[in-house]
Structure 1
Amino acid sequence: MTICDDLRQAVLQAAIQGKLTDQRPEDDDANVLCENIQSERELLANTFGARKEKLKGLFSMDELPFEIPAAWKWMRIGELGLYKKGPFGSALTKSIFVPKSSSTIKVYEQKNAIKRDSKLGDYYITKEYYEKSMKGFTVRAGDIIVSCAGTIGETFVMPNNIELGIINQALMKITLVPSIQLSFFLLYFDFVLKDSAKSQSKGSAIKNIPPFEILKNMPMPIPSLAEQKRIAARVDALMAQIDDLEKTENELEAMKKAFPGDMKASLLQAAMQGKLTQQFKTDGGAVDILKSIKKRTMVEDDAHDVDIPPNWEWAILSDICEMYTGNSIAESEKAQKYAGLKEGYDYIATKDVGFNHQVEYDNGIKIPFDAASFRKAHQDATLLCIEGGSAGKKIAILDKDVCFGNKLCMFFSPNLNKRYLYYYLQSPDFTSVFANSVTGIIGGVSIKKLKAMTIPVPPLAEQERIVAKLDKLLPLCDGLVEY
């Protein structure tokens, strides 16, 4: 399943449990609603000549799949309307079908439900046979038709002005009572009954809708009619957002093909040039952020090959960030003085920062809180490896204050969104400059060179939009390309 599939499942789960919308005391009592439903069902049965349902009585605790709000009630599916499966196979064979004419009756098929189109299909029976044997299978505007074999549980609400017709063997039709919101019923049906059909079916061949005895006795939570409408509206809105996210996933797949191996780099580069998010005049200018810097080195716009939006500013990293490396500890000293301490700052070495941007805090080494000679890195600061084979590759945001090693450099700025700074230090605009600055046998970049490097500074609101966009897009890349 994709991320979007998981999100859809989570939304539906929350919806049917009453966790997606607020409960309102002014809503009608669900007890009254349930009484109305029972009366409406009897009226439907009398109108269409349906037999009285023989359903189980009160629910046992093991029948109820989850808790619902106190104002809601449980009813059995069979109490909510009329249900009819198509005729037995021998009652509707190909030998009975006739060409369409002004006196024929349409036979609706499974593809009408699956493709949600009432006009598909060209099977018809005579009006005489319909009146004699098939009238009880008539489908009307507003009825729900459900695919019952193979591709199970696909639903379609029959529109107005459909041809007079019947359902075939692979369909079931549902005529709901008026007090059940159609869209609320369908989302419950989609979430619960499809799973039930899969679990109830036997073998690995064709899956089937559960037998009526099981289906009609299934429990369904009933909120007030007003709450049903709010839930359906909320689900529609969230599903639209998930559909948009799915489009993003599809765009990422296309980007994978266009930029194999470089998708994250492409996204980060676009973000740091103002090309990933929309610019708003109401954001003001980044110059407002930089006013608080007492000593600021001016950076000329033409000093960079990269263009940034006009309300952004360039800044020297050391002007806008705290930057310093940590302390080196000899292995013998580490084992004798700092291993096994119960209290103190966790000491983070390069090996404790993963290529997956996670930090291993519980490594057995702690520095006493009163050890003044050790440099501290703030919670929410970024640690970047600047020396050795991992230089420029290992990077992480800290969850708490720590002490750290001399091959790591801390970056912290009260003027920048913490994740904006973190993402910039991974962007091609920074990493290319970093790579060109590596010197020495071991390979590394001096703190002096780091401090002289620059960073594009958007307005704070724009930083937040960039971070939100990257937080959404970059995780989706992980399953598509190697980072």
Structure 2
Amino acid sequence: STQQYAKLQTLLKSKVLDWAMRGKLVEQDPHDEPASVLLEKIKAEKRKMIKEKEIKKSKPLPPITDEEKPFDIPDSWEWVRLGNIAKRITDGTHNPPPNSHEGKQVISAINIKKGKIDFSLSNRFVSEDQFLKEDKRTNIRKGDVLLTIVGSLGNAAVVDTDKLFTAQRSVAVISSNILSKFLYYVLISAMFKTQIFANAKGTTQKGIYLSKLINLKLPLPPLAEQNRIVDKIDNLFIY
């Protein structure tokens, strides 16, 4: 039946993502620049951005101990925390301004569905003036990855539009130095979702704080392999 087929699809997708996270989906290439080099480049770029006052200096994150690593990954990969690979992680406004019904759109977790941002699912707007204030905080740009962090947890989407918009606090904005689509696949993988749910708090509505989010772990492949993994997943599933 269609229902069974849909169930099978979901199961296959999660299995493929699991293999991808373990470095078992595509072959490693010994000529790839290892992830450790990529991490050094990310650190250097962050230092430059701090110097140029584009981002604030943040406290160093604790190193990942062997006990914390959920599984083995290839030698050319590194275990990292989300905060290690992100230039900036923020959430939307905690005090949403009144709806101006025109201007720039304000999205929330409702708008992030099946890997896409569906602007038609809500109609909250801010005036152009108000948007400039909000945009200082969220600064959502093409290539950023959005993640729902309040209410419905763990849905993600890559921003693939030049349209300017902002968000409410149920959405985290992650601007990173790794391949956006690879980061998207990390965020929706069981390995990462398990961590989100384990760290979520709240009784009526569960949410995860940014201070917890930046500490969540992910396996980081070399950049060239990130590209191969994304191509492979995209070919296997038309998401």
The answer to whether the superposition gives a TM-score over 0.5 is yes
Output the amino acid matched with 2:11: D
Q: Aligned partners of 2:204 and 2:226: how far apart in 1?
A: 36
**TM-score by structure 1 length?**
0.44
2:73 is the counterpart of 1:74: no
Q: Aligned in 2, Cα 1:218/1:168: closer, same or farther, shift over 3 Å?
A: same
Q: Aligned partners of 2:101 and 2:61: how far apart in 1?
A: 45
CA contact (8 A) 1:113 1:156 kept: yes
Q: Aligned partners of 2:73 and 2:216: how far apart in 1?
A: 15
The one of 38, 43, 46 equivalent to 1:41 is: 46
Alignment partner, residue 207 of structure 1: 206
Q: Aligned partners of 2:36 and 2:185: how far apart in 1?
A: 22
Residues 14-413 of structure 1: pairs in structure 2 closer than 5 A = 14-44=19-49, 49-81=54-86, 82-88=88-94, 91-93=95-97, 96-100=98-102, 104-114=103-113, 116-117=116-117, 119-120=119-120, 121-132=122-133, 135-162=136-163, 164-177=164-177, 180-191=178-189, 192-202=191-201, 205-208=204-207, 210-240=208-238
**TM-score by structure 2 length?**
0.83
Q: Aligned in 2, Cα 1:125/1:203: closer, same or farther, shift over 3 Å?
A: closer
Q: Aligned in 2, Cα 1:186/1:46: closer, same or farther, shift over 3 Å?
A: farther
Output the amino acid matched with 2:9: C
Mean Cα deviation higher: 113-122 or 153-162: 113-122
Bigger Rg, structure 1 or 2: 1
SS in 2 for 1:23: coil
CA contact (8 A) 1:181 1:229 kept: yes
Count of paired positions:
230
Indicate the structure whose relative CO is greater, using CA pairs within 8 Å and at least 6 residues apart.
2
- 1:68-119 per-residue CA deviation (whole Å, 9 max, x = no partner) reads 111112222102121101122xx215xx22231xxx3332232322262454
The CA deviation at 1:204 is 6.6
- 1:367-395 per-residue CA deviation (whole Å, 9 max, x = no partner) reads xxxxxxxxxxxxxxxxxxxxxxxxxxxxx
Identity %: 26
- 1:110-159 per-residue CA deviation (whole Å, 9 max, x = no partner) reads 23222624543332223333445652223222222222222222112222
Q: Aligned partners of 1:118 and 1:161: how far apart in 2?
A: 14
Q: Aligned in 2, Cα 1:132/1:117: closer, same or farther, shift over 3 Å?
A: closer
Q: Aligned partners of 2:108 and 2:213: how far apart in 1?
A: 21
Q: Aligned in 2, Cα 1:26/1:157: closer, same or farther, shift over 3 Å?
A: same
